[in-house]
Amino acid sequence: MTNVVKRFPGVVALGGVDLDVLPGEVHCLLGQNGAGKSTLIKVLAGVHEADEGTIEWSGEEVTLHHPQAAMDLGVATMYQELDLVEGLTVAENIFLGHEPTRFGLSQRTAARRSAAALLGRLGHPEISPSVEVGTLSAASCQIVSMARALSRDARLIIMDEPSAVLDAGEVDQLFRVIREVTAQGVAVVYISHRLEEIREIGDRVTVLKDGRTVATGLDAKTTPTQDLIRLMTGRSIEYVFPPKPEVATDAEPVLRVEGLARTGEFDAVSFDVRPGEVVGLAGLVGSGRSEIVETIFGARRATTGTVRVGGKTVRPGSVAAAVAAGIGLCPEERKSQALVLGASLASNITLATLPRFSRGGLLDGSAEVEAAEELLESLDVRPRGVHRESRTLSGGNQQKVVLARWLLRGCKVLLLDEPTRGVDVGARSEIYALIRRLTDEGVAVVVVSSEIPEVLGLANRVLVLADRTVRHEGPADELDEHAVLDIILKGDAA
């Protein structure tokens, strides 16, 4: 594929990507979160259509406007979020969409038999084709997903972080199968954050950054790690971060997290945040960072540990208690977790502050609209209009609305999970400036971001997470992007 461009409203997700994959090779895609890897494979799989550029398949130009079109060509995709139907059996999932049939009746026995053969080939004969997928472990689901890709006689298999949920033995098994299929001339596009895996299985590497190809056709075995990290990190877009004022080290911490842990999600974490301080949590998706802030917020119940705001322990597992204590959260998924999309901007903004606008249970509509208008104005949310449905706004403006909700409430502690995901460059710097304004007023802020420069640029102190554990804690000034990536990647290797 050459010069592929994919735009989403307000964001250019891919801004010119070149990629060529040879038969029988394992082509690795490398890049930070948000570099466009997932978008790229969705374009390849026909989920999204490219806005510009061409895709050639065996020398012929093709348009993939539907997943079925890609499948017909022989492209099979294993997505990161598993796309299995829980209520169906293993065999039904493997052959979903191309069930073996005779006279219009599905051949259940034939399907089960072929499924068993595929699972055997993958080294997992113990997975029964007739059990429901919902009862399987995450690793087994990955195997079923793999079997599904194989069942289609694919000529190109795309694997988006297949090893994320597998243990070492299972990864070896996966690699054995990859070698087997590539020996038969099948090409594999392999995405992983684990450099040592890429070294072991990969033939060539393409590096993506900010939606562009920065290097392609690198030798997977010999390219030095330092070069790869440099390619992944060197920024084409420079974000402007406001200056960080000194935080008084003797000030009493506003937020004090002690030994907070959730079994299976993250190990005990302890940290303090002082008034006006920004603490950043850096780590990859799945490192436990979102789980940590959601647990602080009471949206998940901690297994052990305490959260204190201004010296008082917050009742665990209760969002209402956390909000009452002065904590606010801008969650990772704006649309599903933060906004009532069909409701007006005004009612989204006042959602956490309703009692303030209520006189004996009756809402003071005009006071509400006035407060919302003032905030929309000061945050420069566009287009204007407090009565506009929140679904009509772009990502950056939606994020401002979520921030406005907590500004109105006046939080002591603000937890920001991926505050600039899907936010365009202009709105980003506005959001950064806003965070600074809040810390100037003495708010304690915790920022989670996949983008390491963002964490480093905003935070006074940084906690680096890998494999659900804090690997490093220290002042942001003493770290750079390479060092953080190094901790994360080495942590994975450990």
Q: Which is nearer to other proteins, 217 or 385 (CB)?
A: 385
User: Hey, which residues does 26 pair with through a beta bridge?
Assistant: 188
Is there binding between residue 357 and other proteins (CB under 8 A)?
yes
Alpha-carbon distances of 203 from 21, 76, 168, 262, rounded to whole Å: 10, 20, 20, 39
Is there binding between residue 367 and other proteins (CB under 8 A)?
no
Is there binding between residue 351 and other proteins (CB under 8 A)?
yes
Q: How far is the CB of 304 from other proteins (least distance, A)?
A: 23
Residues 291-350 that bind other proteins (CB under 8 A): 297, 299, 319-320, 322-324, 329, 331, 336-344, 347, 350
Do residues 338 and 402 touch, judged by C-beta distance below 8 A? yes
Contact segment (CB under 8 A) with other proteins among 27-35, 58-66, 175-183, 382-390 equals: 382-390
Q: How far is the CB of 51 from other proteins (least distance, A)?
A: 19
Half-sphere exposure at residue 183, Cβ-oriented, CA atoms within 13 angstroms: 6
Q: How many residues bind other proteins (CB under 8 A)?
A: 37
For 303, the 3-state DSSP assignment is coil
Q: Which of 315, 387, 477, 493 binds other proteins (CB under 8 A)?
A: 387
Q: How far is the CB of 59 from other proteins (least distance, A)?
A: 38
Is there binding between residue 362 and other proteins (CB under 8 A)?
yes
| Per-residue H/E/C for 42-80 | HHHCCCCCCCEEEEEECCEEECCCCHHHHHHHCEEEECC
- Burial of residue 160, with CB atoms counted within 10 A of its CB: 0-12 exposed, 13-18 middle, 19 or more buried: buried
Q: Which is nearer to other proteins, 241 or 297 (CB)?
A: 297
Is there binding between residue 448 and other proteins (CB under 8 A)?
no
Other residues' Cβ atoms within 10 Å of the Cβ of residue 9: 9
Q: Which of 354, 425, 433, 493 binds other proteins (CB under 8 A)?
A: 354
For 287, the 3-state DSSP assignment is coil
Over the range 298-332, which residues count as b (16 or more CB within 10 Å of their CB) and which as e?
bbbebbebebbbbeeebebeeeebbbebbbbbbbb
Largest CA distance in the chain: 79
Euclidean distance between the first and the last CA atom of the chain, given in angstroms as a whole number: 36
Q: Which of 165, 285, 363, 367 binds other proteins (CB under 8 A)?
A: 363
Q: How far is the CB of 409 from other proteins (least distance, A)?
A: 8
Do residues 154 and 168 touch, judged by C-beta distance below 8 A? no
Task: Tell whether omega for the bond before 383 is within 30 degrees of 0, i.e. cis.
Answer: yes
Q: Which helix (H) or strand (E) holds 465?
A: strand 461-466
Residues 393-432 that bind other proteins (CB under 8 A): 405
Amino acid at 23: P
Is there binding between residue 483 and other proteins (CB under 8 A)?
no
- Report the C-alpha gap between 448 and 286 in whole angstroms: 12
Residues 83-102 that bind other proteins (CB under 8 A): none
Q: Which is nearer to other proteins, 62 or 352 (CB)?
A: 352
Q: How far is the CB of 399 from other proteins (least distance, A)?
A: 13
Q: How far is the CB of 385 from other proteins (least distance, A)?
A: 7
Q: How far is the CB of 256 from other proteins (least distance, A)?
A: 21
Q: Which of 365, 410, 474, 475 binds other proteins (CB under 8 A)?
A: 365
Q: How far is the CB of 463 from other proteins (least distance, A)?
A: 22
Q: How far is the CB of 65 from other proteins (least distance, A)?
A: 19
- Report the C-alpha gap between 35 and 429 in whole angstroms: 19
For 160, the 3-state DSSP assignment is strand
Q: How far is the CB of 134 from other proteins (least distance, A)?
A: 17
Which two three-digit tokens encode residue 478? 């003493």
Q: Which is nearer to other proteins, 373 or 480 (CB)?
A: 373
The binding site for other proteins (CB under 8 A) comprises: 297, 299, 319-320, 322-324, 329, 331, 336-344, 347, 350-352, 354-355, 357-358, 361-363, 365-366, 369, 385, 387, 389, 391, 405
